[in-house]
Amino acid sequence: MAAMVSLACGGGAESTDALGVLRDPPPGDFERIPPEPGELDPFAQNARLGRGMNIGDALEAPVEGQWGVRLQYRYFELLQETGFDSLRLPIRWSSHAAETAPYTIQPEFMARIEWAVGHALARDMPVIINVHHYDEIQEDPAGHSARLAALWRQIGEHFADYPAGLYFEVLNEPKLDPMTDAAWNAVLAESLAAIRESNPGRTVLVGGTEWNKWYTLDEVVWPEDDQNLIATFHYYEPFSFTHQGWSGGGPEGTTWGTEAEYTRLETDFAEAAAWSASANRPLHVGEFGVRNVAAIADRAAWTAAVVDQCAEHGMSFAYWDLVSNFNAYDDVKGAWIPELRAALVE
C-alpha cells in the first residue's frame, strides 16, 4: 500500500499518496451531541432540510462506482457553495451486509458512509441516509423485515451520538403487492422500533407505498406516540415526461408545460398538502427530476413548478439528482446546467 503524505492538517485537508494521487480528505469536526427525545420539532427539522440534493447512482449501486458515480469531496463543497441546504444519500446497505443473522454490515462500507455523513455535518449541512434498492424486501416483505430491522439496529448504534443534522429514512420506495400497505406497515413498525432503541431523539423520514406516492401516505400507520417523523413522497408526474426514453417512460421528445399539465401538478401538490395538514406531519419531497434527454426548457419549467409548489406549501425537497442521468450538474464540463440551477436555488 502506498504511503500517505498529508499536505495539511485538520478537516478538509487534501492528501496525496506516494504517486501523487489525490486522496479523499477526512471530514472536519462536528459536535457529537445526539438529540434528546422530545427535543426536536419535526417541522423545524423539515425546514432545515430546505432545498436539498440527492447524490444518486453512487452508494446505491451494488458497488460504489459501478454505475459511474463515486462520491467526491468536492461535491459537498459544490452543493454548499451553490446554496443547497441539505443532502440525501441513497445507500444500498443490503449488498454490503451478511445474508444471515446477525446480518453484519461490512465495516469498510460503514466507514465509507461515516466519511460521507461526516463531510456533510462538518459543514453543518443536514444529511439524510436511507436504505435504497433493497430489492429482496420488495419481493418478500415478511421474509426480510428482520434483516432490515437488523440493518437499522446497526446503523442506529453506529450513529447514535451524531447530532440532529443526521436524519434516517427507513426505506426508499416501498412498491406494490407483495409490498402492500399492510406489509409495509408491519416492516415499518419493526424497523422504526429498531431505530428508536438507540436513537430515541432522531428525526426519521417515512414514505408510503407505490414508489412513495403522496396518495399512499394516508395508508401508513403513523405511530401516535412518535411525532419526530417527517413524511416523504417522490414526485415524477407525468412519468411519461420525467422518465422519457427509460424505465417505462414515454418516448424521447415527450414535452411538458401545457396549462392542463401545470394544473395537474398543482392539484397533486394541493392533495399532498391537504394530507399533511390533516395528519399534522411535515412533508419532504425526497425525489423529483427529469431525465437529461428531455428538452432543457421543459425540464427547467417542470423543476421550477415543483420548487414553487414546495415553497407554497412549506415542503422541503431533494432534487434527483446531482451528476447521474437526471443531473443538474455537468460533471464533464464542471458546471451547473444553468436553467436547473436557477430553478432549484435561485
Catalytic annotation, residues: 173, 287
Q: Which pairs from 94-100 meet CB under 8 Å and 24+ separation? A: 94/131, 94/133, 94/134, 94/135, 94/136, 94/137, 94/147, 94/151, 95/62, 95/63, 97/147, 97/150, 97/151, 97/154, 99/147
Residue list 129-168, contact with ligand GLC (CB under 6 A): 132-133
237 binds ligand GLC (CB under 6 A): no
**Shortest reach from residue 86's CB to ligand GLC, in Å:** 17
| 288 is an interface residue for ligand GLC by CB under 6 A | no
Q: How far is the CB of 171 from ligand GLC (least distance, A)?
A: 11
Count of positions on this chain that bind ligand GLC (CB under 6 A):
7
Nearest in space to 267 (alpha carbons), one of 226, 239, 235? 235
Closest Cα to residue 243, out of 316, 293, 301?
293
Output the smallest distance, CB 60 to ligand GLC, in A. Answer: 6
CB-nearer residue toward ligand GLC: 73 or 321: 321
CB of 284 to ligand GLC, least distance (A): 14
Q: Which of 25, 42, 56, 126 binds ligand GLC (CB under 6 A)?
A: 56
Q: Which of 84, 269, 317, 320 binds ligand GLC (CB under 6 A)?
A: 320
Is 287 one of the binding residues for ligand GLC (CB under 6 A)?
yes
Dihedral (Cα; 97, 155, 323, 239), 10-degree rounding: 90
Which three-class secondary structure state does DSSP give residue 334?
coil
Q: Which of residues 170-229 bind ligand GLC (CB under 6 A)?
A: 172-173
Closest CB to ligand GLC among residues 243, 281: 243
Residues 6+ apart with CB under 8 A from 202: 34, 35, 164, 166, 167, 168, 195, 228
Binding residues for ligand GLC, rule: CB under 6 A, are: 56, 132-133, 172-173, 287, 320
